[in-house]
Structure 1
Amino acid sequence: PYATRIRYSLGELLKKWGYHTAFFHGGNNGTMLLDSYASQAGFERYYGRKEYPHPHRDYDGTWGIWDGPFLQFCAQQLGQLPEPFCAAIFTLSSHHPYAIPTEMRGRFRGGPLPIHASVQYADWALRAFFAAVETTAWAQRTLFVLTADHTGPSEEPYDPARVFQVPLGFYVPGKALPLCAELASHLDIVPSVLHAIGYPWGVPVWGRSVWDTTAERWAPQKPLPLFFQAVGPEGRATFSPHEGVRFLRWGAPQPDSLKPKWVAEWLTYLADYGAWIEGRSEIPEQGP
């Protein structure tokens, strides 16, 4: 049941608006149930290692197809999709064990941690992807969203808030989008995309468009199974069944009883999230 009952996915919303949808991941089909998730989330076509034309030649030995050749495959397939379309690409080469193709070893300077060279390879692959597509007519009509699903190993001291800090960027080739340097989270991706493309209907999703200057800014995080937190401009709020709600201002040693307005909004989100999780885990009764 956890791969179903998805609410307001971008693929489903845009498919109903007449968009063609596709999901790309170079891993073995079935890995992490991504193909099942993509179908439930409204993505009509799925391109995995099985659909890739050289599944053995370009296999990394662990996860799937190297980012370099797979992103070039994505570029070719995107150019053949009927417009308008919405596509998601989930890369894999910057994941543990942080390998890079044998023929490219020594090309990247690397760093103190194994992940550094693999991230440099992934960056090179992404540059090559944009070099292949950004001058095409379809790409110049396309909003690209770039983000990461989680952080990785770091030399920095552990920080309970920064451990979730990932990039989020929006890009249209040849166009300057309004600059937004405010706090944002993955929750803000769907409303931001819908805002940017002029989606005509309201959608009751959590999160706010990054270009909405009136919105309260906070980012939810879940470090442990029964421990929740959110960060905002003023500090970090936490909730656990044992301690309840606490708010710590940045740089302050003790919790503050005065909480910003966004903390109440985050707690409402937590209640809604809990109800959704409970509903997803219900096992339907079977008939005789």
Structure 2
Amino acid sequence: MVVLVVSMSLITRIILTVKSAPAIDFTISNLTGIFIIGLFYDLVNSAYFILPLMLYIWLMPARLMQKRWQLILLNGIFAFFIFGLLFNIVSEWFFWDEFSSRFNFIAVDYLVYTNEVIGNIRQSYPVEAIVAVLLLATAIMVFLLKPVIKSAAAYSVAFKSRSVWMLGYLIILLASYFLVDNKIKQFSDNTYINELSGNGLYELFAAYRNNELDYAQFYQKIPDQQAFRMIREQIKTPESHFVNNDPFSIERKIINTGAEKRMNVVLISVESLSADFLGVFGNTQSITPNLDSLATHSLLFTKLYATGTRTVRGLEALSVGTPPTPGQSIVRRPKNEGLFSIGRVFKEKGYQSKFIYGGYGYFDNMGYFFENNDYQVVDRNKIAKKDIAYENIWGVADENLFTLATKEIEKTVSSGKPVFAHIMTTSNHRPFTYPGGRIDIPSHTSREGAVKYTDYAIGKFIKEAKTKPWFKNTLFVIVADHCASSAGKADLPVNKYLIPLLIYSPGNIKPAKMERLMSQIDLGPTILGLLNFSYTSKFFGYDIFKLEEGRERAFISTYQSLGYIRRDSLVILKPQRIVNTFIPDFKDGSSKPAKSNSHLTNEAISWYQTASYQFKNKLMK
């Protein structure tokens, strides 16, 4: 079984290496790392993998091992595990194709939301044909292994001797659990090489163990008092002042002059909308004609960076305005109720705040999070079957979502209240399916088609909104939740985190370009600033129009690597208290190591450390 596990892991590594060849430098040191470190992880993974078989052989009396039914059972066990290993090869291929990574945090989440994920896989790939081929391959392999299995079963070992072997095995297993982690493979600056050096099944196990990361335990720290002293200095802006002298508080009063503008706000967070999909950012495929047209009539932000690589990370940034904390998004964490959110600010101003989603709200805990943070949740359950023109496993088609959103907006406006509607799209997601006849790219062919369909749906929504009486008093905000892909040679390729932001409101917002560096967490305070709202804030974000020149910064992250962009530098914080500084190329995403600057490093630490401290100690409520 160990030979099978290691052999199939090697085959997987070779396949993925060939697939990733354009991104790899085939040097002796890189190839040695990929295959020697890889072999080490394959052996560690096999130690876990064989546990059920080891227990079975240890406890089964020797006199029964050569019984016919026993041999049939052993062949069945091998068939089960061989099929699993073959299925894993295919799964890793498709996961790598999507994320350029071994199984990770995302895969753990996928195991939780099996309905959506299995549905997505069945709609995206020819699952039945793949399974049939794997079953045939399994049958052939088991047939070839039958003599070996029979011979092994004939080897009789007394229970006492078996127990000695079992004890030795358990010592190895426990040593692997306590002494080995997935950091050993981090030997290269090229993330593809590091990922290839790992083992997919082991990475899945490691990701499950590290589902949440305590910043104070795993990351570089400075004294909490110093961190909060620094953050209070950095977070203060001309229009704000702190409400108290509590050294661990960031609560401050935001005072904007002039009359408050009680405009409706429609915030559309678009699934996986990288900036480089848009023509205004240089794309030549003409897949966003509506957004490109809107951009010329909008306030267009050209240097906005997403905080993370998942929808929940984007929703976290847009709703509670905090830097990404390591591990799981706050949207998915326990004890995330009653947080200070943009929904609360609008609610206190007399608005009705709504989160409108085309899928089921239970997915990724979105429904619970928004329901418990001053939003009303409106999801797929609110749409009658007859009103759904098209749907896939993730949700209804975006045009059906916008029809629902229009009804919800009008319901609130007709009641005499202004509305804050946060709409979350789903169509730009594998399997990239959508209604036919809308655009010139057939459904289920490419991400570009999904982007163009979402663009079509947004254009249709804005066009129909123009006929409504509430249009003239509405601020339309269109932003991505995150980029389509964050993979690159660098750990955090900055170009992959650039997302578009358009604020559109003819007669209220003059078309212009905002070209200052900006984080996704700054969007909430900036919207509230455009409305001239005065309020008490616990946001970490800035109103970019009130912020003095030169103070801009942005945050980018994976679930473990925390990046801080300041001017031309990128500081990355990692577990095991690792801190590295780079000079990033904002066009191609590459990074060159740079000499560390203690003040810049402490600045980066202060943002992430205080954000984690605030959530852990319930100071975001």
Give the TM-score normalised by structure 2: 0.41
* Residues 233 and 259 (structure 1), Cα distance of their counterparts in 2 relative to 1, 3 Å cut: farther
1:76 to partner: Cα distance = 2.9
* Counterpart in the other structure of 1:128: 460
* Residues 250 and 27 (structure 1), Cα distance of their counterparts in 2 relative to 1, 3 Å cut: closer
1:29 to partner: Cα distance = 4.0
Larger deviation: 190-199 or 227-236? 227-236
* Counterpart in the other structure of 2:394: 63
Larger deviation: 8-17 or 70-79? 70-79
1:51 to partner: Cα distance = 0.7
* Letter in structure 2 aligned against 1:165: L
Which consecutive unaligned segments of at least 5 residues does structure 2 have? 1-332, 586-590
Give me the whole-angstrom Cα distance separating, in 2, the residues matched to 1:147 and 1:176: 18
1:254 to partner: Cα distance = 2.7
1:212 to partner: Cα distance = 2.5
Q: Which structure: greater helix fraction?
A: 2
* Counterpart in the other structure of 1:266: 604
- Which of 344, 355, 365 aligns to 1:33? It is 365
The CA deviation string for residues 107-129 of structure 1, in whole angstroms up to 9 with x for no partner, is 3347xx71100000000000000
The CA deviation string for residues 122-145 of structure 1, in whole angstroms up to 9 with x for no partner, is 000000000011343322212222
* Residues 167 and 55 (structure 1), Cα distance of their counterparts in 2 relative to 1, 3 Å cut: farther
1:48 to partner: Cα distance = 1.1
* Counterpart in the other structure of 2:408: 77
Q: Please tell me whether the aligned partners of residues 10 and 41 of structure 1 are also in contact (alpha carbons under 8 angstroms).
A: no
* Counterpart in the other structure of 1:90: 424
Give me the whole-angstrom Cα distance separating, in 2, the residues matched to 1:184 and 1:3: 29
* Counterpart in the other structure of 1:170: 503
Paired residues for 1:85-234 under 5 Å: 85-104=419-438, 107-109=439-441, 114-153=446-485, 160-174=493-507, 175-176=509-510, 179-214=513-548, 216-225=551-560, 227-234=561-568
The CA deviation string for residues 47-80 of structure 1, in whole angstroms up to 9 with x for no partner, is 2111113367434231111001221221232122
* Counterpart in the other structure of 1:22: 354
* Letter in structure 2 aligned against 1:19: Y
* Alignment RMSD: 2.8
Larger deviation: 266-275 or 150-159? 150-159
The CA deviation string for residues 1-36 of structure 1, in whole angstroms up to 9 with x for no partner, is 536245321111210221112111011242222221
Give me the whole-angstrom Cα distance separating, in 2, the residues matched to 1:265 and 1:93: 38
Q: Please tell me whether the aligned partners of residues 3 and 37 of structure 1 are also in contact (alpha carbons under 8 angstroms).
A: no
* Letter in structure 2 aligned against 1:34: M
1:153 to partner: Cα distance = 4.3
Give me the whole-angstrom Cα distance separating, in 1, the residues matched to 2:487 and 2:593: 27
1:38 to partner: Cα distance = 1.5
Give me the whole-angstrom Cα distance separating, in 1, the residues matched to 2:402 and 2:410: 12
- Structure 1 residue runs of 4 or more that deviate by more than 6 Å after TM superposition: 154-159
* Letter in structure 2 aligned against 1:124: Y
Q: Please tell me whether the aligned partners of residues 3 and 40 of structure 1 are also in contact (alpha carbons under 8 angstroms).
A: no
* Counterpart in the other structure of 2:146: none
The CA deviation string for residues 244-288 of structure 1, in whole angstroms up to 9 with x for no partner, is 333212357331234776x544322111122134347xxxxxxxx
1:173 to partner: Cα distance = 2.8
Of structures 1 and 2, the larger Rg is shown by 2
Q: Please tell me whether the aligned partners of residues 24 and 89 of structure 1 are also in contact (alpha carbons under 8 angstroms).
A: yes
- Which structure would you say has the larger RCO, counting Cα contacts within 8 Å and 6 or more residues apart? 2
Does residue 254 in structure 1 map to residue 605 in structure 2? no
Q: Please tell me whether the aligned partners of residues 487 and 493 of structure 2 are also in contact (alpha carbons under 8 angstroms).
A: no
1:157 to partner: Cα distance = 7.2
Larger deviation: 52-61 or 202-211? 52-61
- Which of 48, 51, 55 aligns to 2:379? It is 48
* Letter in structure 2 aligned against 1:67: D
Secondary structure (helix, strand or coil) at the match of 1:102 reads: coil
Give me the whole-angstrom Cα distance separating, in 2, the residues matched to 1:193 and 1:155: 31
* Residues 207 and 79 (structure 1), Cα distance of their counterparts in 2 relative to 1, 3 Å cut: same
Give me the whole-angstrom Cα distance separating, in 2, the residues matched to 1:196 and 1:56: 36
Secondary structure (helix, strand or coil) at the match of 2:592 reads: coil
Give me the whole-angstrom Cα distance separating, in 1, the residues matched to 2:497 and 2:469: 36
Give me the whole-angstrom Cα distance separating, in 1, the residues matched to 2:466 and 2:613: 42
Secondary structure (helix, strand or coil) at the match of 1:224 reads: coil
Give me the whole-angstrom Cα distance separating, in 2, the residues matched to 1:32 and 1:81: 27
* Counterpart in the other structure of 1:13: 345
Q: Please tell me whether the aligned partners of residues 357 and 424 of structure 2 are also in contact (alpha carbons under 8 angstroms).
A: yes
Q: Please tell me whether the aligned partners of residues 580 and 593 of structure 2 are also in contact (alpha carbons under 8 angstroms).
A: no
Report the count of equivalent residues. 274
Give me the whole-angstrom Cα distance separating, in 1, the residues matched to 2:605 and 2:411: 44
Give the TM-score normalised by structure 1: 0.83
Give me the whole-angstrom Cα distance separating, in 2, the residues matched to 1:260 and 1:180: 28
Does residue 242 in structure 1 map to residue 242 in structure 2? no
Q: Please tell me whether the aligned partners of residues 184 and 210 of structure 1 are also in contact (alpha carbons under 8 angstroms).
A: yes
